[in-house]
Amino acid sequence: MKKTVSLAMAALLAVISGCGGGDSGAAAPGAAPAPAKGAATDDKKAAPSGPITLKMWTTEKDLLKSYLDDFTAANPNIKVEAEFMGDYDEMAKKVQAGIVSNSLPHVVQLGQRHAIPQIADSGKLLPIESFMTKEEMDDVLPGFWQRYTYKGKRWVIPFQASTPVIYYNKTLLEKNGAKAPDTWDDLIEAGKKVSGNGTWGFNLNTDSPWYFQPMVWNRGGQLIKNDGTPSLNSKEVVDTLRSIQDAVHVSKVMPPNQIKTSNEDFIAGRLGVYFRSGAGLAGLKKQVGDKFQIGVAFLPKIKERWVPIGGNGLGIFKSDKTYEEASWKLVSFLTTKESTAKNSMSTGYIPIKKSAFELPEFKEHLTKDPNFKVAIDQTQYLRGEGIHPADALIWSGIIKAIETVHNDAKADPQAVMDKLQAEVVDYMKTYK
């Protein structure tokens, strides 16, 4: 099995490399830093007798600093060296390179769709549930666990959780007699009213598959069936791709080939509606300033209304018992109800714990700006599709499929998705 997983991991590294989105401050792609002291390079390492240093790989440049300072103040015998590894794709590549070279940190921050099955199957990652009580696990919003559960075990604890929402330029919509869309049909109609003279109805953020997925669900379909079988060429998936093609070439409410500049376009007032993570609210408000009034709403309903989970979680790699216990102490600190509420209030992420919603400071925060409450209210429609070894391949394939129909009004969505279905089926043959 390990040899098969290694071959599939190599294939996955190639897929992730094609997903784009690296950060200029990250280490070279695939490069694994030196092993952390006490990490899983030698199962016979002795436990340290004095103060210890934990190595943490993170996708955050600055956000964690105040949390880590507070942790060190409360735990003076544990020092944390946090190393920024780039975005989720870069992190996945470096972790997988670290698995091959036996050079891993103690604690890692992983994106919810970024190679968790491969990392778990390597035997290097500890199930996070092995550190937690039932009460602690039950306090996490149940829908958030689905994207971190594999082969019946919870491997990573949600840390920064989000759902996609739509942001809308309230000023632009009202000026053109349009309202915030509640359904897909509303979105197209509103788009027609505001499109023209360099302005467009709507667009998706660069992580376009994250918005594609609930469009499939809301038509009654799935990307992956409950038994793990891909269904990427089903009617619901093909109809979703065709609806995007029609938005570009028929109703002309979506700009062709401008997904990469969608954030700039929205900030500049060139988009009526913008699909993006609810975690982006605080940043968007700062970027837009007083140019126009921002509104936030649920994802548009089609036949049904469902939303996926996004964001990241924290995992612990095997080492010796002392380092593992210290690692859990750090992860536990970062995911207390107080920490998760603080994180939410400063960004727009959703608190991962039910108990955080009862904190007086969090309740007060929601009364100050109702826009922050939209993503939280939308969790009633939260749906998790279990993690899958081919997640990265599916993600990159959907990006290419959307690009194809953007570029070609005559492209056949069925043929496009048949091709991706075949690629995923072939990949799973190598993984199994």
At 144-179, the pLDDT tens digits run 998 899 999 999 999 999 999 999 999 999 999 999
The sheet with strand 200-204 has its strands ordered as 200-204, 271-277, 164-169, 294-297
Could you read off the pLDDT of 41-75 as tens digits, one per residue? 444 344 455 699 999 999 988 888 999 999 999 99
- Residue written as token pair 């194809």: 404
pLDDT, position 3: 44
> Is it the case that residue 29 has pLDDT exceeding 50?
no
Cα–chain center distance at 40: 27
pLDDT band at 347 (very low <50, low <70, confident <90, very high): confident
2-162+309-381 architecture in CATH? 3-Layer(aba) Sandwich (3.40)
For the chain, give every domain's residue range: 2-162+309-381, 164-306+389-431
pLDDT band at 12 (very low <50, low <70, confident <90, very high): low
**Number of separate helices (H) and strands (E) present in the chain:** 18, 12
Could you read off the pLDDT of 134-152 as tens digits, one per residue? 999 999 988 899 889 999 9
Gap between the Cα atoms of 35 and 58, Å rounded = 15
pTM of the complete model: 0.85
Q: Are 89 and 21 spatial neighbours (Cβ–Cβ below 8 Å)?
A: yes
> Is it the case that residue 1 has pLDDT exceeding 80?
no
Residue type, 227: D
Q: What is the DSSP string of 305-372?
A: --B--EEEEEEEE-B-HHHHHHHHHHHHHHTSHHHHHHHHHHH-PBPSBGGGGG-HHHHHHHHH-THH
pLDDT band at 25 (very low <50, low <70, confident <90, very high): very low
pLDDT band at 267 (very low <50, low <70, confident <90, very high): very high
Least trusted range by pLDDT, from 108-112, 135-139, 221-225, 367-371: 367-371
> ∠ CA(334), CA(381), CA(205), 5° rounding?
70
Give the count of beta carbons closer than 10 Å to the beta carbon of residue 196. Answer: 11
Mean pLDDT estimate for the chain: 89
pLDDT band at 9 (very low <50, low <70, confident <90, very high): low
Give the count of beta carbons closer than 10 Å to the beta carbon of residue 155. Answer: 23
149 Cβ partners below 8 Å, 6+ apart? 155, 386, 387
Segment 219-223 mean pLDDT: 97
Residue 153 tokens, joined: 């075990």
pLDDT band at 39 (very low <50, low <70, confident <90, very high): low
pLDDT, position 146: 87
Does the domain made of 164-306+389-431 have the CATH classification 3.40.190.10?
yes
> Is it the case that residue 387 has pLDDT exceeding 60?
yes
> Is it the case that residue 26 has pLDDT exceeding 50?
no
Gap between the Cα atoms of 215 and 240, Å rounded = 6
Higher pLDDT pick, 183 / 16: 183
> Is it the case that residue 20 has pLDDT exceeding 60?
no
> Is it the case that residue 27 has pLDDT exceeding 80?
no
